[in-house]
A and B are shown apart, each in its own frame.
Chain A
Amino acid sequence: MNREALKLEVKRLLIAELDLRGKTEEDIVDDAPLFGEGLGLDSLDALQLAAALEERFGISIPEGDEAKAVFASVNAITTHILEKAPEVSV
Chain B
Amino acid sequence: MNNQRMRVAVTGLGAVTALGHSVTEMFGRLVAGERAFSDISEFDVACSKFRIAAEIKNFRVSDIAPIGKTSLYSRADALAVAAAEQALRQSGLREQDLFLAVGSTSGGMREAEPVLMADPAQGMDARLAQRLITYPLFNSAKRIAGVIQSVRHTATFCSACSSSATAIVQDAIWVATGRCDCAIAGGTDSLSLLTLTGFAALGAMSSDPCRPFDQARSGMSLGEGAAFLVLESESHALKRGADVLAWLDGWSLGAEAHHITHPEPSGVTAAGLISAAIRYAGLLVDDIGYFNAHGTGTLPNDSMEANAVRLAFGAHVDQVRVSTAKGQLGHTLGASGAVEAAITVLALRERRLPPTMGLTTVAEDTRLNHIMGESISTDCRHALSSSFGFGGLGAVLAISHVDTPNRIPKPAEQRLVITDVFDAQPLSDPLSELNPDRSRRFDRVTAQTCVGAGQSTADAVDCGLVVANAYGNVERLHGYLARLQTKGIRGIAPAEFPHLIPSAIAGITSIYLGLTGPVTTISEEAFGCDTALDFACGLVQLGFARSMVAGVVEARDTGSGRVQDPFGVFSNAPNSPDEVCYFFRVETEEQARAQLPIARILEVWVGQGPWYQYFLDHEAPRQLSRHKLLFCGIDAAALAELPEVGQWIHAERIEFQGKTANPLGRSGAALAAAVRFIARGEADEVLLISKAPTAGSIIHLARFEQGD
Contact = CB atoms under 8 A, between A and B. Distances in A.
B642 interface: no
A51 B436 contact: no
B491 A55 contact: yes
B495 A44 contact: yes
Interface residues on A, range: 10 to 19
Interface string A24-64: 00000000000000001011110110011011000000000
A85 to B, nearest CB: 15
A52 B490 CA distance: 9
A75 B683 CA distance: 66
B532 to A, nearest CB: 28
B441 interface: yes
A55 B259 contact: no
Given A21-B431, A47-B202, A42 B437 contact: no
B493 interface: yes
A19 B440 contact: yes
A28 to B, nearest CB: 13
B198 to A, nearest CB: 11
Given A47-B201, A51-B201, A54-B490, A40 B437 contact: yes
Given A47-B494, A51-B494, A55-B487, A18 B259 contact: no
Nearest to A19: B440
A43 B498 CA distance: 13
Interface string B28-56: 00000000000000000000000000000
Contact of B493 (A42, A43, A51): A51
Interface string B238-282: 000000000000000000000111100000000000000000000
Contact of A21 (B259, B260, B440, B493): B440
Given A18-B440, A21-B440, A22-B436, A55 B201 contact: no
B511 to A, nearest CB: 12
Contacts of A44: 202, 259-262, 494-495, 498
A51 B261 contact: no
A19 B494 contact: no
Contacts of B494: 44, 47-48, 51
Given A44-B261, A47-B495, A48-B495, A20 B440 contact: yes
Interface residues of B, number: 21
B441 A19 contact: yes
A48 B498 CA distance: 12
B325 interface: no
Nearest to B494: A47
Nearest to B439: A21
Q: Name the residue in B202, B487, B492, B494 with the highest tally of chain A Cβ atoms < 10 Å from its Cβ.
A: B494
B499 to A, nearest CB: 11
A52 B261 CA distance: 19
Contacts of A21: 431, 436, 439-440
B203 interface: yes
Interface string B481-497: 00000010011111100
Interface in A1-29: 17-22
A44 B492 CA distance: 13
Q: Name the residue in B440, B491, B493, B495 with the highest tally of chain A Cβ atoms < 10 Å from its Cβ.
A: B495
A47 B493 CA distance: 8
Contacts of A51: 201, 490, 492-494
A43 B300 CA distance: 12
Contacts of A54: 490
A55 B440 contact: no
B160 to A, nearest CB: 15
B495 A45 contact: yes
Interface in B480-526: 487, 490-495, 498
B490 A55 contact: yes
A19 B495 CA distance: 11
Given A42-B259, A55-B487, A55-B490, A47 B437 contact: no
A26 B431 CA distance: 23
A66 B480 CA distance: 29
A43 to B, nearest CB: 7
Contacts of B262: 42-44
A33 to B, nearest CB: 15
Contacts of B431: 21
Contacts of B491: 55
Contacts of B498: 44
Nearest to B259: A42
Interface of A: 17-22, 40, 42-45, 47-48, 51-52, 54-55
Interface of B: 201-203, 259-262, 431, 436-437, 439-441, 487, 490-495, 498
Given A20-B440, A43-B261, 18 more contacts: A17-B493, A19-B440, A20-B436, A21-B436, A43-B262, A44-B260, A44-B495, A44-B498, A47-B202, A47-B494, A47-B495, A48-B494, A48-B495, A51-B490, A51-B492, A51-B494, A52-B493, A54-B490
13 contacts: A18-B495, A19-B440, A20-B440, A21-B440, A22-B436, A40-B437, A47-B202, A47-B495, A51-B490, A51-B493, A54-B490, A55-B487, A55-B490
Minimum-distance CB pairs A-B, first 9: A48-B495, A47-B494, A19-B440, A21-B436, A22-B436, A19-B441, A44-B495, A48-B494, A51-B494
